[in-house]
Structure formats: C-alpha cells, structure tokens
Amino acid sequence: MTFALALIVCYLLGAVPTAYLLVKWAKGVDIRTMGSGNVGATNALRTVGLWAGLVVLAIDVLKGLIAASLIPRWLLGSTALGVPLLCGFAAVLGHDFPCFLRFRGGKGVATTIGVLVGSMPLVAGIVMGIWLVVFGAFRYVSLGSIAGAVAIPISQLALHQPLHEVLIGSCLAILILVRHRANVRRLLSGVEHRAWS
C-alpha cells in the first residue's frame, strides 16, 4: 500500500503542469494554443522567452529529481534497486499525461533527466553529454532528445546495470521516442524547427 501511495504521489508531482501555469500567469493564455502546443520548456522558451524556458526546465527537472531521490526515502524509507527509477517513471508519466490537463502534457525529457540525476547520475551525465553534442552539431532540440533517449538503455548496459533497471530505463526511452513521433516526421520531411533560425 505504501509503495502504491509513493507512485501516486510521484505521478501527481509530475502532473503539475509547470509550463501551463507559468505561461498562464505571465501571458494569460493557454500554452497549448501557442507555438507547437506542447506543455514543456522548449515551447515556453519559444512563446514567452528565455527566462520562462529556463524556469520551466528547472522545475520539470526538479520534479523528476524529487520523485527519484527524495520520495522513496520519505515515504518508503528505501532506495532499493529499481524503486527510485519506478518512482521517477511515475513522475514522467504524470508529466506526459497530467490528470490536471486532461492527460495532454509534455514530452518528459526534462523530468526524465531529473529522474536520471536522482537515480543514475553517471547515466544522466552520458545522456546530457550526447544531447549537447547532437544539439550542438544539428541545432535540433528534438534530435538531441531522441539521441539522448536512445542512449539511456545503451549506457545502462555498458555500465552493467541490473536487467530490471535497464528495462525501466528502456521504458523511459521508449516514452520519449513515442512522444517525439511528430518531430520525427518533421525531421524526415525537413520542416522541423531549428534553434536560432
């Protein structure tokens, strides 16, 4: 029962719609009607400005970090293998499918980074490094996110992490890839938005 409660708390934490609330407060509009319509840091940056993107990014990362590192300790008194990742995965599900916005949320990249920092710091470093390299080379936020997602289970396998943790990491990666399917179509057709263009 306590574990189920922890997952629910993590989901609700992840479901807090940071970008929606900040843009509503700053502009009085629904971010889902602006830019790409995505409820995430990149759309907040494009539609409101750099400060908004950075604030949303920081809070969304923090949601994943708290879910993976603090809630398992507070509610379960345990950081046993797999528990931080499962709690983090619940937060990412909350971010992607928030009950507060009729299950229309973001793409989960920032929250996933927070989960990785809180549960697998070395994997987080590898993933963020790959994101920076790919983004720096091609200037596509989405392509960097896709490459970083693919790197999650590969990095786990390279670091000889337990199979059940690799499976959870794979689920995080698959969720990011599925949420980016429209971006993949735009990348293939050459119409994806490039940063600073």
Q: Reduced to 3 states, what is the DSSP secondary structure of residue 48?
A: coil
62 confidence band (pLDDT: 50, 70, 90): very high
- The proportion of the chain whose per-residue pLDDT surpasses 90, expressed as a percent, equals 81
Burial 37-53, CB ≥16 within 10 A → b, else e? ebbbbbbbbbbbeeebb
75 confidence band (pLDDT: 50, 70, 90): confident
Q: Give residue 81's pLDDT.
A: 65
pLDDT in tens, 117-140: 999 999 999 999 999 999 999 999
Mean pLDDT (whole number) for 21-30? 92
Q: Give residue 90's pLDDT.
A: 97
35 confidence band (pLDDT: 50, 70, 90): confident
Quote the mean pLDDT of the chain: 93
For the chain, which residues make up each domain, given as ranges? 2-189
Mean pLDDT (whole number) for 37-47? 90
Q: Give residue 57's pLDDT.
A: 96
Q: Give residue 1's pLDDT.
A: 58
Q: Give residue 195's pLDDT.
A: 80
CA distances from 113 to 23, 116, 141 (A): 22, 5, 14
At residue 197, does pLDDT exceed 70? no
Mean pLDDT (whole number) for 46-68? 94
pLDDT in tens, 91-116: 999 999 999 999 999 999 999 999 99
Contact between 111 and 64 (Cβ < 8 Å): yes
167 confidence band (pLDDT: 50, 70, 90): very high
Contact between 119 and 107 (Cβ < 8 Å): no
Q: Reduced to 3 states, what is the DSSP secondary structure of residue 79?
A: coil
